[in-house]
A and B are shown apart, each in its own frame.
Chain A
């Protein structure tokens, strides 16, 4: 008897067993389904109530020091393309993908994290019934399936957890580090570079990039501590930051809007250049720690 005939015979037996010894869907199975559905609706309503009742109208009151919001703020600040200090963080069920991008670094292997691994996983899931054609359904007879399931659960759980606790540098903390950057990189006497460093800190660049150990190292973004040694020049850096996609970098957002904001020094004096230029001067002055 061929494998397919065995499977067919097994299904015929199943149908006959159900016909002879099964129970009607209503009311038996439907009772369980109804109870479970009520539980689901109650959980959803409960989450909605806890979320609303522990949060405030003002989104800023959910910052870490106001950690009274158990399930997060009602909304973040309104979207503002020109603004600063964002955290590109997806909803929690994308954390595992999000964290993959910290493992695979830009630009060589980042495609593995963004497209490669998710696509492979999806294809495996789709063809699973054709890989595993044995009839046996008992777990004790399916060691490979059990091990695979455990590995998938552990790795997805680990990636989700790491994505959830991944440290996002807070703008205020990063700004506090600017003087030490200027000292270590030796651009303390260049007010334009210092101004650019402040923009860099406030604009949330460290949500992805790292600089002298500060920052997220997210989405495969490179360390910028010695960006000035790469010979791009102030001009090159300016055009790169304003539209990275022109240089083949389609992950980093465009920051062209910064060209319209005048850069100021620590005392609020206008430096006669835009924030975009200040950023470029800062990066060009970053020759690595001395």
Chain B
């Protein structure tokens, strides 16, 4: 214990540290969770990550806001055509801060969708979908699609005129798809007509099925981010993984020379942007 020899600790402090460390060690020994968290927090990221790299975690934050406000709304919302509209009015006008929770959920949805598109644009412009991160791009596209489905199913829940008629048309449009279309429309409607069954199943999809899928996909998405790392901005002079060759060294047959690393660091750093 190098530290212990350097600074003498009072027995009181030692007891305190032991009390703090014991449950942490207990958990680590039995689950390895502490090590996992340490790895997540103290893993190295390229030195040139910047504000553009925050769009993903911002999207996650918007989703968590949706999850928390959604849970609160579900405590008051009544998914029946006769009561849905009145329960939304009740939440907005009577429940303490209900207007804030509903407002955050309503507008958080838009923010979530916008941030997904911004994040996607960032990944596209950085070329960050390239090897070895192809799979994570695909998961991201799936998240975008089911995120928009979440918006579609949530739109009906207030059971007001815009919601009702927009959903009828939306379901009918789904029905125009070849082969599967009529079945999808039938499934969404829960019968021949839009009614109580439709509302119940939109509610179920909106708060169980789709959020579950989003959580699972975000988990996978983050796992791959941690495993593969985030890519440097392509214009960075310090881009991690950038090639070590100058433009002039590209040989005439079009193949790149110098893929091994004989050139000292910082020699032509940043001359090539095709880093991983």
B176 and A111 contacting across the interface, CB-CB below 8 Å: yes
The answer to whether B47 touches A149, judged by C-beta atoms less than 8 angstroms apart, is: no
Interface status of B208 (Cβ within 8 A of chain A): no
**A76 touches B (CB below 8 Å):** yes
Partner of A51 from B53, B106, B193, B241 at Cβ < 8 Å: B106
Mask, A127-146, CB within 8 Å of B = 1, is: 01110111111110110010
- A86 smallest CB distance to B (angstroms): 4
A48 and B151: CB pair below 8 A?
no
Contact B103 A253 (CB under 8 A): no
Partner of B166, one of A47, A90, A252: A90
The reply to whether the CB of B224 lies closer than 8 angstroms to some CB of chain A is: no
Name the residue on A nearest B151 (C-beta): A91
Q: Which residue of chain A has the shortest Cβ distance to B81 in the bound complex? A: A79
Kindly state whether residue B18 has any CB partner on chain A within 8 Å: no
Residues of B within 8 Å of A155, CB to CB, are none
Q: Is the CB of A48 within 8 A of B235?
A: no
B124 and A145 within 8 A (CB): yes
Write the B127-140 contact mask toward A (1 if CB under 8 angstroms, else 0). 11111111001100
> Is B176 a contact partner of A114 (Cβ separation < 8 A)?
yes
What chain A residues lie within 8 Å of B25 (beta carbons)? none
Distance from B117 Cβ to chain A, minimum over Cβ atoms (Å): 8
Residues of chain A within 8 A (CB-CB) of B169 are: 88, 219, 251, 253
The answer to whether A253 touches B276 (Cβ under 8 A) is: no
B241:A11 contact, CB within 8 angstroms: yes
Q: Does B45 contact A (CB under 8 A)?
A: yes
Q: Which residues of A contact B215 (CB under 8 A)?
A: none
Contacts of B188 in A (CB 8 A): none
A-B contact pairs, 17 of them (CB 8 A): A14-B276, A17-B240, A25-B41, A28-B49, A33-B58, A48-B107, A49-B103, A57-B93, A76-B160, A78-B159, A80-B161, A93-B148, A114-B174, A129-B134, A137-B273, A141-B273, A219-B173
Residues of chain B having any CB pair with chain A under 8 Å: 40-47, 49-51, 53-55, 57-58, 61-62, 65, 81, 85, 88-89, 92-93, 99-100, 102-104, 106-111, 113-115, 121, 124-134, 137-138, 141, 144-145, 148, 151-152, 155, 158-166, 168-170, 172-178, 181-182, 185, 193-194, 229, 231, 234-235, 238, 240-243, 255-256, 259, 261, 273-276
Tell which of A81, A122, A219 touches B145, judged by Cβ atoms closer than 8 Å. Answer: A122
Instruction: Provide the main secondary structure of the chain A interface.
Output: helix
Task: Assess whether A22 is in contact with B240, with CB atoms less than 8 Å apart.
Answer: yes
Across the two chains, which residue of chain B brings its CB closest to A85? B161
Give the shortest distance, in Å, between A213 (CB) and chain B (any CB). 23
Beyond known contacts A23-B44, A132-B129: 20 more, CB 8 A cutoff: A8-B131, A10-B241, A10-B275, A11-B131, A21-B46, A28-B49, A30-B41, A33-B58, A36-B51, A37-B57, A52-B99, A75-B85, A76-B161, A114-B174, A135-B276, A137-B274, A142-B127, A149-B125, A153-B121, A251-B172
Q: Given A37, A74, A83, which contacts B161 in the complex, CB threshold below 8 Å?
A: A83
Instruction: Determine the chain B residues whose CB is within 8 A of the CB of A48 once the complex forms.
Output: 99-100, 102-104, 106-107
CB pair A7 B168 closer than 8 Å: no
Those 5 A-B pairs whose CB atoms lie nearest each other, nearest first: A48-B103, A14-B241, A137-B127, A22-B44, A138-B273
Q: What is the distance, in angstroms, from A3's C-beta to the closest C-beta of chain B? A: 9
Question: Counting CB contacts under 8 A, is A266 at the interface?
Answer: no
In the assembled complex, which residues on chain A have CB atoms less than 8 Å from the CB atom of B50? 32
A residues near B129, Cβ cutoff 8 Å? 128-129, 132
> How far does the alpha carbon of A35 sit from the alpha carbon of B103 in the complex, in Å?
22
Q: Does A21 lie within 8 Å of B45, measured CB to CB? A: no
Whether B53 contacts A29 by the Cβ 8 Å rule is yes
A123: nearest residue on chain B (CB-CB)? B141
Bound form: Cα–Cα A250–B169 in Å: 9
Query: Given A29-B49, A41-B61, A122-B145, does the pair A132, B125 have CB atoms closer than 8 Å?
Result: no
In contact, A250 and B185 (Cβ under 8 angstroms): yes
With A89-B162, A90-B166 in contact, is A250–B148 under 8 Å at CB?
no
**Nearest CB on B from A180, distance (A):** 27
